[in-house]
Chains A and B, each alone.
Chain A
Amino acid sequence: MTRADQWKLLSVVVATALSIWYLWPSYRYYTMPPAERQKMPPSEMAALRKKAIHLGLDLQGGMHVLLEVDKSKLSAAEAKDAVDRARDVIENRVDQFGVAEPLIQSEGEDRIVVQLPGLTDRERARELIGRTALLEFKLVRTPEEVRNIFTRLDSYLAARGAGASANLDTTLQRTPLSGHFLDVGSAAFIRNDDRPVVERLLATPGLDSIIPSDSQLLWTAQDQNYQGVTGRYLYVVKRTPEMTGGSIATAEARVGLDQTNPGAWGVGMTMTPKGRADFGRVTGNNVNRQLAIVLDSKISSAPVIRERIPSGDASITGSFGIEESKDLAIVLRAGALPAPVKTVEERTVGPSLGSDSIRKGLTAGLIGSVMVIAFMVIYYQLSGVIAVAAMLLNTVYVIAALAGFGATLTLPGIAGLVLTVGMAVDTNVLIFERIREELRHQKSVRQSVSLGYDRAFRTILDAHLTTIISGLFLFQFGTGPIKGFAVTLIIGLVANMFTAVLFTRMIFDWMLGRGKVERLSI
């Protein structure tokens, strides 16, 4: 064995050993029975999972959402770090929700990527991530003020003939708005059937100028019952909040917050010291008035202040389920988003569908590989076996590299891996065909092999480079799964130069080095 051969052998041994080293955690992680997984200490488990090859959301199931932060209503100063603040809040919420290995990243000017692997309850997650959760305490206007405002709205609407066109009812012609009210105190009760009409009326252009600028109309968040009729209340509140969610120290889901319905779930909140002081002052100054607890511009309740409340305990109740209460507590603890967010992209895959994809991808890969292997061995015989060995080695290297670089294996990535099988043997086909050609020209076996490798090399290099060029552009453009494909393709091609050229050459040299060879099985 020459010195160069020794180096080649050493490099193959080292690369293979390294690959096995990188693949071992993946093998252990994915073949471990669930019972054993349970027994393993969590920190060790996390370390193992980190080293194992990552599966993309399309394979393990999960949710990918791209959120856009609406900065249009923020001042320039607020807008500056709004995305980062929003990301922190969402990160905080997701942490408390409990998803293994979430990814939350700001992207570009106004976007946030959220990836939740293995997620099973997408609706809950969506709600949790996307909710602004702006909590405000606002004073409710007194009944006289409320009546006053509604009367002015009625006359404005009647003057514009808002009620006349659709209704012959004279009450509705005179009082287009309050004609729909079943009850007016500090709030108006409106049947659910009438709500769309009322909402349309309230959207009448110019109406905003009739409402005093320091007041605003807000609906209750949930359906209520008034004398057996289901509907919602429309409140008139002071626009500037007395306090906001920033004063909340903790929030937790609890039962027994609502005296009229003791078994119901709700969220109990305690305030920060400053919040407690503020709350004491606000309640002290407004005894016998109603203080509305407003969440995302919907009133969750508007209790009457009986006396000054120094404790700073507040609660949100309603017909919540236990999960809803827990999620609400999470968002209140984590704080409000600095601005509303909108989901501009969502890709969610159910976990069973993901494992289906893995199964199908592997089946296709197996069948494809078997066909390629069968062809190579039948067509090129012993040389075909060498090419197949190189191809298998190539596959091992690619998967090991994916694990080693912490890259993510996606479904298109699996497709890339399968295609790599077909492309990997191409290199050897080119070399073998060239060797056969030299053999036909009556060259000796050793000479033919040597010429075959040398003459095919330039072509092989060119062929690899062009595919790598498109692979690089693909990587550049790629989102998630496509990036996985590009990475697999590129690594596959680079590894192929090593296995299909260097490794197979080494085997041939070794075979031919043992004395005179008359025939080559090719």
Chain B
Amino acid sequence: MLQFLIGTNFQLMRFRRWAYLFSGSLILATIVWLVMHGGPRLSVDFSGGSLVQIATNQALPSGRLREALDRAGMRGAEIQQLSEAGGNEYLIRLKGSSEGDVFKGVKDAVVAAFPGVQIDEQRSRVETVGPRVGKELASKAFWAILGSLAGILIYVGIRYEFKYAFGAVVALFHDVFITLGVLCFLNREVSLTVVAALLTIAGYSINDTIVVFDRIRERSKALRKEKHSRVMDIAVNETLSRTVITAFTVFLTALALLIWGGEVLSDFSLAMVVGVAFGTYSSVYVASGLALDTWIWLDRRKGIQAE
């Protein structure tokens, strides 16, 4: 029988304060980043504007491409060459006005500035979102995230006692927020698909937590005499292999999507990879750690010695 992480006896709970420090710094860093940049970088889905991907038959130096767009009145374009497959593919982001046909505008500007260049429309795409539609999508996304967090919260609240629910909920916010933070640090944009990834993470990352908590509940009945932290350690160690393996299989598929899934899915896949990784870590440290501290705090308030 091939196995790993069986019969381990890590004293995980002893280091939980370090984990709080680590998670706390990441969260703080995310908050600082968000405050400094006035929120996450929003894709055209939410900010309004246009995203134009063009495939050309020859390379366009990005400086001259920018000049060409400037001359055509499309100022402040962000240009990104897609490195995939070595083709001449460019991603152009334009903020603001979506009046008129943006794709045609870009096409005309390119053709005028680079004689002989042809744009393959079959291999191009355009996303234009008006400011009002963008705002509507943003508010929908906001409520969807809030709603699903609340839904899970209520479910966990019904299913577990307060001491567990608190840790689970903090872990949930932790995972979603840090994933958002990592995307921000990597200068990725928050788009509709990224929101989909965040919601999936919210639903998925709690799975590991549920596995650990069910075990803690089971063990805390059997091991009444033990210290709380010992019960926790036993429960976490006993479920460690499955916590890691279940996350690992999902991690593998998310990683495959990130590497081979193409440009369109890359932000989504990155969010999933990061979210699954943090979800695993947080079910051990944030969720269980906080559950332990809540448990100790509750007992002490009742005047029971606990640690």
Contacts and interface: CB of A to CB of B under 8 A. Distances in A.
Nearest to A489: B200
A433 B245 contact: yes
Contacts of B29: none
B70 interface: no
Interface stretch (A206-214, A251-259, A468-476): A468-476
A346 interface: yes
Interface stretch (B219-227, B253-261, B295-303): B253-261
A411 B256 contact: no
Interface string A386-420: 00000000000000000000000001100100110
Interface string A432-456: 0100110000000000000000000
Contacts of A422: 249-254
Interface string A367-399: 111011001101101000000000000000000
A286 interface: no
Contact of A364 (B55, B242, B261): B261
B144 interface: yes
A459 B140 CA distance: 31
Interface string B168-182: 000000000000000
B257 to A, nearest CB: 5
A457 to B, nearest CB: 11
A61 B122 contact: yes
A400 to B, nearest CB: 20
A430 B2 contact: no
Interface stretch (B33-41, B110-118, B130-138): B130-138
B234 to A, nearest CB: 13
Nearest to A66: B133
B272 to A, nearest CB: 7
Interface stretch (A151-159, A165-173, A478-486): A478-486
Determine the interface band of chain B, counting residues with CB < 8 A from chain A. Answer: 35 or more
Interface stretch (A316-324, A333-341, A349-357): A349-357
Given A360-B260, A418-B257, A473-B148, A466 B250 contact: no
A179 interface: no
A521 to B, nearest CB: 9
Interface of B: 1-3, 6, 53, 55, 98, 101, 103-104, 120-130, 132-133, 137, 140-141, 143-145, 147-148, 151-152, 155-156, 159, 192-193, 195-196, 199-200, 202-204, 206-207, 210-211, 214, 238-239, 241-242, 245-246, 248-257, 259-262, 264-265, 268-269, 272
Nearest to B145: A473
B123 A485 contact: no
A350 B124 contact: yes
Contacts of B137: 479
Given A344-B132, A473-B148, A476-B144, A467 B203 contact: yes
The 6 closest A-B pairs by CB, nearest first: A368-B256, A470-B203, A477-B144, A360-B262, A422-B253, A467-B203
**What's the dominant secondary structure at chain B's contact region?**
helix
A249 interface: no
A421 B210 contact: no
Contact of A479 (B152, B192, B246): B192
Contacts of B123: 350, 352-353, 356
A23 to B, nearest CB: 22
18 contacts: A122-B121, A342-B130, A346-B126, A347-B127, A352-B122, A353-B55, A353-B122, A365-B256, A379-B3, A411-B265, A412-B268, A422-B252, A426-B246, A462-B155, A467-B204, A470-B151, A474-B144, A477-B140
Nearest to A123: B104
A18 interface: no
B128 A343 contact: yes
Contacts of A360: 260-262, 265
B129 A345 contact: yes
Contacts of B261: 360-361, 363-364, 415, 418
Interface in A97-125: 120, 122-123
B136 to A, nearest CB: 10
Contact of B259 (A348, A364, A436, A469): A364
Contact of B199 (A58, A465, A473): A473
A474 B264 contact: no
A419 B254 contact: yes
Nearest to A374: B252
Contact of B196 (A361, A469, A474): A474
Nearest to B242: A433
Contact of B148 (A364, A419, A425, A474): A474
A421 B204 contact: no
A367 B144 CA distance: 32
Contacts of B214: 458-459, 462
A467 B200 contact: yes
B2 A357 contact: no
Nearest to A473: B148
Nearest to B214: A459
Given A415-B257, A422-B251, A477-B143, A350 B200 contact: no
B260 A466 contact: no
Contact of A473 (B147, B156, B206, B256): B147
A460 B5 CA distance: 21
B207 A426 contact: yes
B268 A415 contact: yes
B252 A459 contact: no
A203 to B, nearest CB: 18
Given A371-B252, A477-B141, A348 B265 contact: no
Given A363-B260, A368-B257, A474-B148, 19 more contacts: A61-B122, A342-B130, A344-B133, A348-B126, A360-B262, A364-B257, A371-B252, A411-B264, A411-B265, A419-B250, A419-B272, A422-B250, A426-B250, A430-B211, A459-B211, A466-B203, A469-B203, A470-B152, A479-B192
A419 B253 contact: yes
A463 interface: yes
Contacts of B192: 479, 481-482
B120 to A, nearest CB: 7
Contacts of B148: 469-470, 472-474
A506 interface: no
A68 B251 CA distance: 42
Contacts of B151: 469-470, 472-473
A512 interface: no
A433 B208 CA distance: 14
Contact of B101 (A120, A123, A372, A375): A123
A184 interface: no
A470 B128 contact: no
Given A463-B207, A467-B204, A477-B143, A353 B130 contact: no
A423 interface: yes
A345 B136 CA distance: 12
Given A379-B2, A430-B246, A346 B252 contact: no
Given A352-B122, A418-B257, A477-B143, A462 B241 contact: no
Given A415-B265, A470-B200, A348 B125 contact: yes
B130 A345 contact: yes
A458 B268 CA distance: 30
Contacts of B143: 477
A297 B255 CA distance: 56
A342 B132 CA distance: 12
A28 interface: no
